[in-house]
Amino acid sequence: MANTRQSRDNELEAILEKVRQTRNFDFRNYKRATLQRRIERRIVATGCASRAAYLSLLDRDPNEVSILVSSMLIKLTTFFRDPEVWVELEKVLKELVQRRRADQELRIWSAGCATGEEAYSVAIAAAEALGPTYPGVELKVFGTDLDEAAIAHGRRGVYAAAQVEGVSKDRLERWFTRTGDTYTVRKELRRSVVFGLNNLVSDAPVSRIDLILCRNVFIYLDAALQKRVLARFHFALRAESVLVLGRSELIPFAARLFEPIDLSRRIYRKDGRQESAASLREPPALELTQEPVLTPEEEAARELQRHLREAINSLPCALIVTDLNGGVILWNHAAARLWNRRDSEVLGRKLLSLGLPGLPQELLIEQSARVRAGRVERETADGLMEVSGQEPITLRTVVVPYKGARGEIHGLLYTPHDNTALRNLELNLKRANEELQNVNLRLQNFNEELRASNEELETTNEELQSANEELQTTNEELQSTNEELETTNEELQSANAEMDAINRELAHRSEELDALALNQRTIIRTLTAAVIVIDVEGKISTWNLSAERLLSLTEREAMGQVLWTLRIPALKRPLLQRLRRGVAENRATRQEAVPYQLPHGGRGFATLVVTPLTQNGSGLGAVILFEDNTRAVAIEQENRKLKGLVKK
């Protein structure tokens, strides 16, 4: 049982490592229970029999990796979600507006903003708190998330009617423009909101912030990552600024860094205590800005970079140059051959977001930050690069500062080298050392036997400690289960809302069909001709009032009966047999002056019309019209008689 569980854990770690190498999303410190549930859903959806089979699918289909990442990052957000929290937030925003200087910009960060509803909600509340002075340059809202598609949706600012149900009518009229069934955020509000990609765990935070909203993100992180992200938030906030977390996120560590304002609604203030300040060791914050306008000097610098790129393309070793923000500005031919990526695929993109195999994340983040800051002159790291059908390649990458003429740092240079031969030599040396150690171990066995009794006592102590750890783990799992139940409840609420909309639409359609059926039945019942509708077996489904009058059978007596078996004076047996054959052959029939017995006993004549009902060539039955034309036949006979007299 233990081996099976260990095997499943190893398969889970292999899946997470595959995601990290392919998409550069590191979920290794996320809560295992949540990750397992998301992965099991994808295993069932793809029809894989086991985790091992699903891992093989990830190797074959890179698109499935993207689908798995999206399923792990559930986006559940609405405008002005949790109204009672927004009531308190509006008070906080008024306080921040009153406290700021006249020339000071109000800066707000919506971290994990998904498709932008929360970012626009806080922008609306802040604009209303600013009052008549808005719109202006005094408000800036930063919306960040890991999902590029969600960020693109937020930049467009276009939402369906169901997505803006949480917005009041007055706010809809003031801050949105309606086009058909969609609502678009007005330009003056969109100019105040800047969207961008940001990984709360690895990327530098936005700086000089007055208010941070980060709701329902911490429920996916373990305690270590929660502490790390909270420390980054503390670094990003100005003194006396405010942090708002999700209502399901009660994090004891937050009270060490922030002063609780409203603990039930998870609203905190940065109080600047020494304990908090001493615990922060974060890199300088990055600023999200609009698209830059290049000066002539910058254009000349770019031209120089292009010339430098042409010069280094002849180098046999791979070379990558990035700017201070991590964007790739040079990518030589050797690098293109090594990773099989063209210039157009990498230039201008963050090196960290490319997910290049063989470049460790530690090198691209922590080590690069030290070189960029000038604390060290160079950093080196080793990484494995998988090659299909071959042994993995060991890359040793050196990162050094890219300096200008006066020694100022303009970016970083990365030079990876194939270190496979040296690594194999190190492995051989390691194996030789292990053999020597095995010899020493055999010599130490006698001494170990003497210490066996002491080790048994230590084992007993370890078992007691393990039992205590299991109890702590059980407590953490219960807390995680509660958080997952809250998330599931939110998902069910969203599904219920969709079902309500579908039910309303179905009810409307049913009412329309009922009205149409009533109109059809009324029209058929008022026709002067007898109308009979039968199926392919001859069973009667329609029998109007004229049929009751002309054929001497009530609707109750006729409905559901087989026409061929009924005794109807007006329809003789041979005539019924001809009708039956015509219906079986899907053949239309029209017969004039059919003699029949009138309801009062006299002799009459009628016109009989049989029209088959077909669909895709298959017979469904027929519509039979039986119309009395006794008077017309009598008049015609009288006319013929008169014409005969005239001729005589």
Q: Is the pLDDT of residue 136 over 90?
A: no
Q: Collect all residues with Cβ–Cβ distance below 8 Å to 317 and sequence separation of at least 6.
A: 334, 415, 416, 417
| 3-state DSSP assignment of residue 447 | helix
| Cα Rg of the chain, angstroms | 40
On average, the pLDDT of the chain sits at: 81
pLDDT reading at 467 higher than 60: yes
Q: Give CA separation, 570 vs 65, 315, 628, in Å.
A: 75, 103, 11
Residue 517 has pLDDT above 80, yes or no: no
Query: Would you say residue 273 has pLDDT above 90?
Result: no
Identify the H or E element spanning 227: helix 223-236
What would the pLDDT profile of 344-377 be if each residue is shown by its tens digit? 778 878 888 888 888 888 888 889 989 888 889 9
**Which pLDDT value is given to residue 275?**
41
Task: Look at residue 289 in the predicted model and tell me its pLDDT.
Answer: 38
Residue 29 has pLDDT above 60, yes or no: no
Average pLDDT over residues 636-642: 82
Provide the token pair at 146: 């890991």
Residue labelled with tokens 């109308």: 531
pLDDT at residue 72 tops 80: no
- How far is the C-alpha of 613 from the C-alpha of 622, rounded, in Å? 5
468-507 burial code (b ≥16 CB/10 A, e <16): eeeeeeeeeeeebeebbebbeebeeeeeeeeeeeeeeeee
Per-residue model confidence (pLDDT) at position 137: 63
- The predicted model gives 442-465 an average pLDDT of 79
Within the chain, how many helices (H) and strands (E) appear?
A: 23, 20
Structure tokens at 52: 């091992």
Q: Pairing between strand 209-214 and 106-111?
A: parallel
Question: Is 393's pLDDT higher than 80?
Answer: yes
Q: DSSP code of 366?
A: I
Hunting for tokens 């999303």 — which residue is that? 25
pLDDT > 80? residue 411: yes
pLDDT band, residue 175 (cuts 50/70/90)? very high
pLDDT digits (tens, 9 = 90+) for 212-242: 999 877 776 777 778 888 888 888 898 889 9
Q: How far is CA 364 from CA 392, 412, 414, in A?
A: 21, 10, 10
Does residue 185 surpass a pLDDT of 90?
yes
For the CA atoms of 623, 629, 630, 633, the dihedral, rounded to the nearest 10 degrees, stands at -130
Handedness of CA 181, 186, 187, 190 (dihedral sign): negative
Residues with Cβ within 8 Å of 18's Cβ and at least 6 positions away in sequence, in order, are 55, 58, 59, 65
More confident residue, 514 or 369: 369
Average pLDDT of the segment spanning 427-447? 81
Determine the angle formed by the axes of helices 32-46 and 452-526, rounding to 10 degrees.
50
Strand partners for 106:
139
Give every strand in the sheet of 328-331, ordered side by side: 328-331, 320-323, 409-418, 393-403, 379-385
pLDDT, residue 186, reads 92
Structure tokens at 344: 């157009």
pLDDT at 122: 93
pLDDT at 332 over 60: yes
What the block records as the tokens of 78 is 């609405």
In SS3 terms, 400-446 reads as: EEEECCCCCEEEEEEEEEECHHHHHHHHHHHHHHHHHHHHHHHHHHH
523 three-class SS: helix
Percentage of the chain beyond pLDDT 90 is 15
**Amino acid at the residue 286:** L
Q: pLDDT tens digits for 90-133?
A: 999 999 988 887 778 899 999 988 889 999 999 999 999 988 77
Check whether 297 has a pLDDT greater than 60.
no
Distance between CA atoms of residues 116 and 106, nearest Å: 19
Q: What band does 284 get if pLDDT is binned at 50, 70 and 90?
A: very low
List all residues 6 or more positions away from 73 whose beta carbon is below 8 Å from its beta carbon. 146, 147
E strands, 1-150, in order: 106-111, 139-145
- Specify the pTM: 0.42
Distance CA 383, CA 397 (A): 8
Q: Which pLDDT score, from 0 to 100, does residue 447 have?
A: 75
409-418 vs 393-403, strand pairing mode: antiparallel
Q: Mean pLDDT across the stretch 31-54? A: 80
Tell me which of 94-98, 571-575, 605-609 is least confident.
571-575
Q: How many CB atoms lie within 10 A of CB 168?
A: 12
Which residues neighbour 510 within 8 Å (Cβ) at sequence distance 6 or greater? none
Residue 567: pLDDT band (50, 70, 90) is confident
Confidence of residue 283 (pLDDT cuts 50, 70, 90): very low
Q: What is the pLDDT of residue 348?
A: 79
Asked if 532 and 610 count as a contact pair (C-beta separation under 8 A), the reply is no
Residue 169's pLDDT is 92
Residue 578 to residue 557: CA distance in whole angstroms: 23
Q: Which two tokens stand for residue 209?
A: 């912030």
Instruction: List all residues 6 or more positions away from 506 whose beta carbon is below 8 Å from its beta carbon.
Output: none
Asked which of 76-90, 246-260, 558-572 is least confident by mean pLDDT, the reply is: 246-260
Give percent of the chain above pLDDT 70: 88
Q: Where are the alpha helices (DSSP H) in 340-419?
A: 343-346, 361-362, 368-372
